[in-house]
Amino acid sequence: MCGASVRVSEGTRTPDRLDHNQELYQLSYAHHGTIGLYQRGFHDAATIATGARCVYAPSPWRSCPLPRSLRGVATAREQQSAEQAGAGPARAPLVLATLILVAAVANLNLAVANVALPDIGKAFDAGQTGLNLVAVGYSLGLAASVLYLGALGDRYGRKLMLVLGTALAIPACLVAAFAPSLGVLFAGRLLGGLAAGLAFPTTLALITALWSGARRTRAIALWSGLGGAISALGPLMSGALLEHFDWGSVFFATLPLALVALVMAIRFVPAHVNETSDPVDNLGGILSVLLVAALVLAINFAPVPNRGALALGLAVIALATGVAFVLRQRRAASPLYDLGVARRRIFWVAACAGVIVFGTLMGAMFVGQQFLQNVLGYSTLGAGAAILPAAMLMVLVAPRSAKLVDARGARFTLLTGYVFCLLGFVTMLLLWKDGIPYWKVALGYAFMGIGVGFAGTPASHSLTSSVPVRRAGMASGTADLQRDLGGAIMQSILGAVLTAGYVKAISAAIAAAPDKAQITSTVQTELEKSFASAADTATRYPQHSEAIIAAAKSSFVSGDVWAYIAGIVAILLGAALVWFRFPKRDEERALLARYQAEDAAPA
């Protein structure tokens, strides 16, 4: 039963705040002039600041009628006030821990393959392009599907997508672990990426819907920092497994975590939080999948000899689907990607900045792991452990990044992160040579960890702050694209220039060899395929083994240089974009206030 006693001062039309001691699922006016407070659990009363009080019986659904003077008032202000007043959902620490664990499953699966690439190359006699595809397959599946699946989650239930994605990650790991060929391994990685596309965008969407204000910033900082650190710890786990088992063991690393995350998601994550009833733009979703997949594959095949026509065809497909996607979003009644919101300066600049930051991190890890094993001769465990400075510093810096965003604004914090990322690539370019001591490796990774720790929070927070809650899925999908599309593109670009640089250098070494007449075309092809293939060739020709390995190492370092220069160029372009286009703190706050007013205004 519900009784109401309303005290409204003269001229007051709407409540300014809503105090409550339990989680609000939705606050909206029904057509008959009531506010529905949909709540979870059987707690005490919720009190409206105007004086209206509803005492709820043990039922999950109750509503309290408003007096006539308050009926028909738009709900956006009340919903926003409720979110700002709330401390988060019931059992907030457990909910946040669950969302971070689900994200960790995706992050770990994203990272575990890199350390195993040399072993995978030997097992399947794979070329550098094949290894690039294995490395990028997971990012490809995730990046291609994240917008579409995020929209499906907004419509049909984020918790449902969270549970389905976490559950699907388990068979995807098994397919990759027992893959009999490189093609099946790529398919398993692609399936794992699709599973992450179901679950991963939901994590940030739920954080956006369940927390607000400074609490949301801190939650995003933890989500971003711990997610990045867990991703960085993937190589360490993989390295430890590879010391005792074959390459397939790395894909078992996330199975225990996936099982725990699945149980916690079912148990603790609330369902139906600020979800939309708008229809899903399925055609737009299909176009987005084709666009991202064609773009990433075109970049991977571009440097491969005799694959120019394929790369060009994929590029044409990417361009055509990109144009079709934009046209579809402009005309659709319920677009998958709201171009009006995407045009907001804070949104699109933050999106581009995040793509570069997270992409360069993943690209650096991808190239760095091969450098450590192929050139420096690190064991798989040593190569995985070498990345620890980046992981630890990301965790330490992320909370400070959240404070810096509040104190100095997102622009200053993003630029701080970019400076450290630039230092990381410059360190790799100048110091990472054959025979270097570990401190030079650690220094490069440390700079990258600090940079991503600073830049990750404002890149994600600016997205979620500049969209209405009903578009939380779009913001979270874009934040996921920062990592996944950024990772797929930058790994593809750095991998492509690494491949091109390696092939050019090894071809020059073969041409300059004193006994080049004895090198058959078959042997030359094997040497040019990849470092792993060259090392395998060296075992078949022991009399030339030292010369082959030395040439392969030198050629790999030459390819590395190209990759690091590409990373530096990307960082400089991103920093210039943020410097010239992202608003300073006061202008940023004014823009965010304007966006909120626009979103609260009646349609």
> What element of type H or E holds 68?
none
Q: Going along 375-432, which residue ranges are E strands?
A: none
Radius of gyration over every alpha carbon of the chain, rounded to an integer in angstroms: 26
DSSP secondary structure of 454-506: HHHHHHHHHHHHTS-GGGHHHHHHHHHHHHHHHHHHHHHHHHHHHHHHHHHHH
Answer whether residue 93 is part of any domain: yes
Spatial distance between the Cα atoms of 239 and 200, rounded to a whole number of angstroms: 25
Spatial distance between the Cα atoms of 33 and 348, rounded to a whole number of angstroms: 38
| Contact by Cβ (8 Å): 311, 304 | yes
Answer whether residue 310 is part of any domain: no
- pLDDT at position 172 is 93
Do 221 and 249 lie in one domain? The reply is yes
The count of structural domains within the chain is: 2
Residue ranges in 158-281 assigned as alpha helix (H):
158-177, 182-210, 213-242, 255-268
Spatial distance between the Cα atoms of 272 and 208, rounded to a whole number of angstroms: 13
Q: pTM here?
A: 0.69
Identify the domain boundary among 37, 63, 84. 84
Q: Identify the sign of the CA torsion 380, 385, 389, 393.
A: positive
Bridge-based pairing of strands 34-39 and 46-48 is unpaired
Spatial distance between the Cα atoms of 455 and 224, rounded to a whole number of angstroms: 10
Closest CA to 132 of 501, 490, 554, 496: 496
Any bridge partners for residue 46, and if so which?
Answer: 54
Answer whether residue 532 is part of any domain: no
Do 36 and 104 lie in one domain? The reply is no
Do 235 and 257 lie in one domain? The reply is yes
**Residues whose CB falls within 8 Å of the CB of residue 439, separated by 6 or more in sequence, listed in order:** none
> What element of type H or E holds 19?
strand 18-19
Do 71 and 91 lie in one domain? The reply is no
Any bridge partners for residue 61, and if so which?
Answer: 38
CB atoms within 10 A of CB 3: 9
Spatial distance between the Cα atoms of 176 and 249, rounded to a whole number of angstroms: 10
Q: How many CA atoms lie within 13 A of 1 on its CB side?
A: 1
Q: Which phi and psi (to 5°) does residue 389 adopt?
A: -55, -40
Q: Which phi and psi (to 5°) does residue 62 adopt?
A: -140, 155
Residue 57 DSSP label: P
Do 92 and 178 lie in one domain? The reply is yes
Do 447 and 396 lie in one domain? The reply is yes
Do 106 and 181 lie in one domain? The reply is yes
- pLDDT at position 76 is 36
CB atoms within 10 A of CB 330: 10
Do 32 and 157 lie in one domain? The reply is no
First to last CA, the chain: 34
Any bridge partners for residue 38, and if so which?
Answer: 26, 61
Do 33 and 141 lie in one domain? The reply is no
Answer whether residue 400 is part of any domain: yes
pLDDT along the chain (603 residues), means of 10: 38 35 31 30 30 32 36 37 52 87 83 82 80 83 82 78 91 92 92 88 79 79 72 77 89 89 89 68 90 86 77 93 93 84 87 88 85 88 87 85 88 95 95 92 94 87 76 70 75 84 86 78 80 81 83 87 92 95 89 83 66
Tokens of 590: 């004014």
Q: Which phi and psi (to 5°) does residue 18 adopt?
A: -130, 110
Spatial distance between the Cα atoms of 538 and 202, rounded to a whole number of angstroms: 48
Do 187 and 237 lie in one domain? The reply is yes
Identify the domain boundary among 56, 84, 112. 84
Answer whether residue 28 is part of any domain: yes
Do 134 and 199 lie in one domain? The reply is yes
Distances (CA, A) of 267 to 23, 99, 233: 16, 12, 27
Any bridge partners for residue 63, and if so which?
Answer: 36
Spatial distance between the Cα atoms of 152 and 208, rounded to a whole number of angstroms: 17
Q: Which domain holds residue 68?
A: 18-84
Spatial distance between the Cα atoms of 383 and 188, rounded to a whole number of angstroms: 24
> What element of type H or E holds 35?
strand 34-39
Distances (CA, A) of 338 to 270, 293, 512: 26, 21, 57
Identify the domain boundary among 32, 50, 84. 84
Spatial distance between the Cα atoms of 90 and 267, rounded to a whole number of angstroms: 12
Answer whether residue 539 is part of any domain: no
Answer whether residue 30 is part of any domain: yes
Answer whether residue 62 is part of any domain: yes
Sheet architecture: strand order including 61-65: 24-29, 34-39, 61-65
What CATH number corresponds to the domain at position 381? 1.20.1250.20
- pLDDT at position 39 is 29
- pLDDT at position 326 is 92
Distances (CA, A) of 262 to 99, 174, 249: 10, 17, 21
Do 477 and 359 lie in one domain? The reply is yes
Bridge-based pairing of strands 18-19 and 46-48 is antiparallel
| Contact by Cβ (8 Å): 373, 540 | no
